[in-house]
Amino acid sequence: MTNKTTRFKPIPQEILEKSVELSNSPEVLLELLSNLQALPESLSRDNITYAARLLNIPAHHAYGVTTFYSMLSTETRKNTLRICDGPVCWIKRASAEEKHTKNVVDLISDTVPSEWTVERSSCLGLCDRAPAILVNDDQAGPISIGETKNACQGWKGVPTDYSIPRPNEKRVMLANTDQIDPNDIHSAIKFGGYLGLQTALQLTPEEVIAIIEASGLQGRGGAGFPVGRKWKFVSQAQIFPKYIIANADESEPLIFKDRVLIDSNPHQLLEGMAIGGYACGASEAYIYIRGEYVSQAQRLKLAIKQAGELGWLGDNIQGSGFSFHIHVHLGAGAYICGEETALIESLEGKRGEPRLRPPYPPTFGFRGHPTAVNNVESFAAVPHIMKNGSDWWKSLSTYSVPGTKLYMILGHVRKPGIFEAPFGLTLRQIIDDYGGGLQDGSSFHFALTGGAAGTMVNSSMLDIPLDYSSSQKGIGLGAGAFLICDNRVSSVAFLRELLHFFAAESCGKCTPCRVGTWRAYNLLCQMADNEITEPDIDELKALSENMLLTSFCGLGQSVPISINSALANFASEFSASRKRD
């Protein structure tokens, strides 16, 4: 990347050197903008225009990208404190906020030094550390309003320790987390790291895909699409090159499993991606990781470097003739980039707006080429299947869905956090057997299941076995996240917080989602504060139906899941005859 003669102040060489991995391709734009933000003048008009000319793209394109992502700002900022106001952090802070008339951002702004900018964030991926904050790039929490001044001086809190399995856990992807050093490849190899890749390289790509298909491994991002089938689509495409992408943009509230997997053993992700690359005929891959996960991105880069030095990544892996290169790409704050086509758009240096489908990524993905996009947990399971075989994977579960799954349980339970177990668990088992039961003095009111785009369920659904088809019975599994709320939490106020998240994170591409989410949020604000009227309920139902039928992508189409389930399962709380307290 070289400077061009312009009337603008040249970008410092050290900034350019941080952004040269993709040369002068427009794909480097997001990375370049993030680096420019560190300059004293930040993302000024001149800097944005200069970056655009450097990459041979229109200035308005660069400006559009800058204003799309929440972690980029055209305002000069020295230090930034991001406060999560997602539903988990809201529940943790709700009782404190009720004592004040100001919102939490205003409250915290009053407690920190003047050189700090305080902003809200829809989610930080730190739900197990709620209430959570991001101090520049440092993750911190749990934190109270009174502790934020200390956070500006280096306090980060204590990360949750998952090294000791819970009773009844069956660990595969989380195995040996108490013994593996995530920053040392030799530690990972000691516990079987890269044996799955070694096994795969002794087979044909077709044989590898056959093993993954036979295992019944379903994608762990929430949809449950068979991994082997997706890889077969990519492998059969006759367009080259092909690409592998790991979707680590878990920007949905309640979900943090990919962060835990990366922090406990990043090499099983890299190994799974390499096996996928070999099976699909791809030699290049990207890990798209959310912008709030800077430390996890650094850990992955170190792991990639170590794997390359030992010949497990890079050219001619272990003398097999197969070459595979992995790059880490940081996002900049956009929930929509968890949708695979929006992720690809972002990876290509554009606004992260979803594409019209079909065509689908396995035939037309990154750079218009066949691309396999899988969740981090999906890739993490692959090495173990290759090492031990598809029959072993199926033997881990007595339920109809094979293998194990990572579950996240949060809210008013004694032991919130993450655990690994087979499919077929009921919500009651998740709460009592793995979550330690409800907190003292709590009684079950409702649970949000699957993630923010999930179902709000009552006690009538506590005993339904959970899998990717249980949503047809009214309770979704999704990515495996469960927020348990006791009788202190209003279902109306909680639904309001969910709609606040979706309204703030809508990409704005289509009118039903852009307008519908905000209108639904405003209606729920009125409902939570005042008497509910029948016209309010009718309008909320109409908005839900319109978003479901006419939204462009899964964001707008999934919002009705929470709305409809809340209205159906908590009809008395949404009754026009009931006044808010």
Tens digit of each residue's pLDDT (9 = 90 or more) over 387-409: 999 999 999 999 989 999 999 99
Instruction: Tokens for 258, please give them.
Output: 């990919």
| Cα three-residue angle 222-549-537, rounded to 5 degrees | 95
Return the pLDDT at 41.
Answer: 82
Other residues' Cβ atoms within 10 Å of the Cβ of residue 509: 18
CATH architecture of 404-486: Roll (3.10)
Topology adopted by domain 491-569: de novo design (two linked rop proteins) (1.20.1440)
- Token match 């968890």: residue? 338
> For the chain, how far is it from start to end, CA to CA, in angstroms?
61
Taking the domains of the chain in order of start, what are their residue ranges?
13-68, 79-151, 185-395, 404-486, 491-569
Residue 153 C-beta-side C-alpha neighbours within 13 Å: 7
Per-residue confidence (pLDDT) for residue 411, from 0 to 100 = 96
Residues with pLDDT less than 70, the chain: 1-11, 13-23, 94-102, 576-581
d(CA 490, CA 559): 19
- Verify cis geometry, omega within 30 degrees of 0, for the bond prior to 142: yes
**Is there a common fold for 404-486 and 491-569?**
no
Q: What is the DSSP letter of 318?
A: G
Q: Any idea which fold 185-395 has?
A: Rossmann fold (3.40.50)
Say how far apart CA 50 and CA 54 lie, in whole Å: 6
Instruction: Enter the pTM of the model.
Output: 0.94
C-alpha separations of 145 from 121, 148, 442 in Å = 16, 6, 24
Instruction: Give how far Cα 577 sits from Cα of 48, 523, 530, 580, Å.
Output: 54, 16, 11, 10
The alpha carbon of 212 is separated from its chain's Cα centroid by a whole number of angstroms, namely 24
In the prediction, which pLDDT does 14 show?
Answer: 67
φ, ψ (nearest 5 deg) of residue 472: -70, -15
Give the pair of three-digit tokens for residue 246: 């790991």
